[in-house]
Amino acid sequence: MNPLIFEADNLEATDRLGRALAQALPPGTTVALRGTLGSGKTRLVQAVAESLGVPAGEVVSPTFVLIHEYQGARPIYHLDAYRIADDDEFLELGPDEYFDDPQGLTFVEWADRVERCLPRQRLDVDIDPTGSTSRRFTLRPVGQTLVDVLERLREVLH
Ligand SMILES: Nc1ncnc2c1ncn2[C@@H]1O[C@H](COP(=O)(O)OP(=O)(O)OP(=O)(O)O)[C@@H](O)[C@H]1O
Ligand SMILES: [Mg+2]
């Protein structure tokens, strides 16, 4: 299937994508975020979390803590693999506990570093800076579960 490409010209557009994801992603979904430093991975998680009722300031980069948990309309787990040395170190965090929570939404920053540890069913999101305030988001479902969700997102975001 074709990926969904969403061109965000500014932060407001990124917030719109975040709201759409908050509405469309079924509980239990894992989102794998990939993109360079400062591309907007944390910013997108903030947008989703805010849309689910988490106060804006609560969502910060989990680079040092590695995992944050926010309680919004559903639990949001926010993981960061930037400082993870290898798969074993990531697995020590017990990520399956988060991936397997049927009520939760899990976001993994620097997901490409721990790709082999991620659920087989997930949404991959690549973020490419295209300007100082613009970002290209490329969304791809991995596995069959989220294929319909992506089609719905395509309609909502076009
Ligand atoms: N359209 C946009 N969408 C997202 N972020 C944007 C946009 N325009 C500008 N920015 C800025 O880009 C930066 C993104 O920072 P953010 O912390 O989200 O990046 P990150 O990918 O999580 O980086 P890191 O790899 O360090 O965790 C913020 O300063 C944000 O304000
Ligand atoms: Mg970040």
18 Cβ below 6 A of ligand 1 = no
Region of 110 on the Ramachandran plot (φ > 0 left; ψ -120 to 50 alpha; else beta): left
CA-to-CA distance for 12 and 125, rounded, in angstroms?
18
- Taking residue 55's Cβ as centre, other Cβ atoms within 10 Å add up to 10
What's the pLDDT score for residue 153?
98
Token output for 99 = 């991936």
State yes or no: pLDDT of 38 exceeds 90.
yes
Per mean pLDDT, which range of 9-13, 33-37, 58-62, 109-113 is the poorest? 58-62
Confidence of residue 56 (pLDDT cuts 50, 70, 90): confident
State yes or no: pLDDT of 63 exceeds 80.
no
What's the pLDDT score for residue 57?
87
Residue 111 · residue 80 · CB < 8 Å: no
The pLDDT mean for the chain works out to 96
- pLDDT tens-digit map of 100-137: 999 999 999 999 999 999 999 999 999 999 999 999 99
46 Cβ below 6 A of ligand 1 = no
The domain locations on the chain are 4-157
With residues binned 3-state (H G I as helix, E B as strand, rest as coil), the percentages for the chain, rounded to 5, are 35, 25, 35
Answer whether 0.85 is exceeded by the pTM. Answer: yes
What's the pLDDT score for residue 60?
85
CA-to-CA distance for 4 and 31, rounded, in angstroms?
14
71 Cβ below 6 A of ligand 1 = no
State yes or no: pLDDT of 64 exceeds 80.
no
What's the pLDDT score for residue 36?
97
CATH number of 4-157: 3.40.50.300
Q: Which of 6, 21, 42 to mutate to test ligand 1, by most ligand atoms within 8 A of the CB atom?
A: 42
What's the pLDDT score for residue 65?
79
Residue 4 · residue 150 · CB < 8 Å: yes
Angle, vertex CA 70, rays to CA 51 and CA 101, nearest 5: 100
Question: What is the whole-number distance in angstroms between the Cα of residue 88 and the centre of ligand 2?
Answer: 22
